[in-house]
Amino acid sequence: MNFKVRVLGCGDSLGVPRLGCYCNVCSSGLDKNRRTRSSIAIFFDSGWFIIDATPDLKNQLLPLKVDYNKFLGVLFSHPHADHILGIEDLRSISLSLRKELSIYASHETLIEIYSRFFYRVSYIRKKVNALPWDTLNSILINHGEVFNLDGVNIVPFFAYHGDIKVTGFRIHDFAYLPDCKILPDESRILLKNVQTLILGALWSKNKAEIMNPKHLTVEEAVELGEELKVERLYLTHLSHKVDYYEDMKMLPNWVEFCYDGLEIEQ
Ligand SMILES: [Zn+2]
Ligand SMILES: [Zn+2]
Ligand SMILES: [Zn+2]
């Protein structure tokens, strides 16, 4: 099965440049050092979906010539603000197509989404006489259990991101895990023979602002890619401490940094 992955954004929770920061990367003005918040879109012949809906979502999708009739919904990795605030932007698709927005997430993520977007729950929408399609159609996914999205098999697996459990997704030989510190053994088994991995890495060890308990460093991410024996590793969720042009030189030849708009054919 062929599909195309497009990196909609590859920045950390604050994006790059950061407001108020004038470091070399933030003020470089160079394309690949400008990063919106992390998300990807996956395009098959019959349809497409996104993983996470960032606060930058509208501007990530507007330049793309995509068919919204084929939009299948959003898979969520976890409910941090940089991954869910684009839910509001997706209302426009529901309103245009007269179709509920389908969201796929684990139990813990759905609870958080519904607590933040309580006004989108269908019974509340009915109370305020909203259009019936202007709501969320939530589909529960369980880690380790394959689910099918319009003929595509997807394997959700979990990882630890600080003190919360997040969901990564495997689709055939490709996997995506933007926010992660520890990948447990049971998830490593589910990633066996993955060829292409997009994995979060905040900054290099020698440029770290703090020892971050929630995110891998570039070095830790490369080590994890090695342990999983992936053929291609793309690093995402990058902070302003990563200079695409300078730091790429230090990566092994099977690893590269993502940039906004990168497309990977699978
Ligand atoms: Zn994040
Ligand atoms: Zn900066
Ligand atoms: Zn996060």
Domain containing 120 — which CATH number? 3.60.15.10
Distance CA 257, CA 227 (A): 19
Ligand 2 center to 200 CA (angstroms)? 18
Nearest listed ligand to the Cα of residue 238: 1
Give pLDDT, residue 262. 98
Give pLDDT, residue 139. 95
Ligand 1 center to 42 CA (angstroms)? 19
Q: Is residue 79 reached through a cis peptide bond, with omega within 30 degrees of 0 on the bond before it?
A: no
Ligand 3 center to 180 CA (angstroms)? 8
Residues flanking ion ligand 3, Cβ below 5 Å: 80, 179
Give pLDDT, residue 244. 98
- What are the start-end ranges of the E strands in the chain? 4-9, 39-43, 48-51, 71-75, 101-105, 136-140, 147-149, 152-161, 164-171, 174-177, 196-200, 232-236, 255-257, 263-265
Ligand 2 center to 241 CA (angstroms)? 7
Ligand 2 center to 24 CA (angstroms)? 7
Ligand 2 center to 79 CA (angstroms)? 25
Output the CA–CA distances (angstroms, integers) from residue 33 to 15, 238, 251, 256, in the order listed: 10, 10, 16, 14
Ligand 1 center to 98 CA (angstroms)? 30
Distance CA 11, CA 16 (A): 6
The range of the structural domain enclosing residue 87 comes to: 4-265
Put simply, whether the predicted model's pTM sits higher than 0.85 gets the answer yes
Ligand 2 center to 198 CA (angstroms)? 23
Place of tokens 């759905």: 110
**Tally of structural domains, the chain:** 1
Give pLDDT, residue 9. 98
Nearest listed ligand to the Cα of residue 22: 2
Distance CA 156, CA 61 (A): 24
Both tokens of 15, joined, read 């994006």
Q: What is the mean pLDDT of each run of 10 residues along the chain (266 residues)?
A: 95 98 97 98 96 98 94 97 95 91 96 87 66 85 97 97 97 98 98 98 90 94 98 98 97 98 96
Nearest alpha-carbon partner for 155 in 174, 182, 134, 137: 174
Q: How large is the greatest C-alpha to C-alpha distance in the chain, in angstroms? A: 57
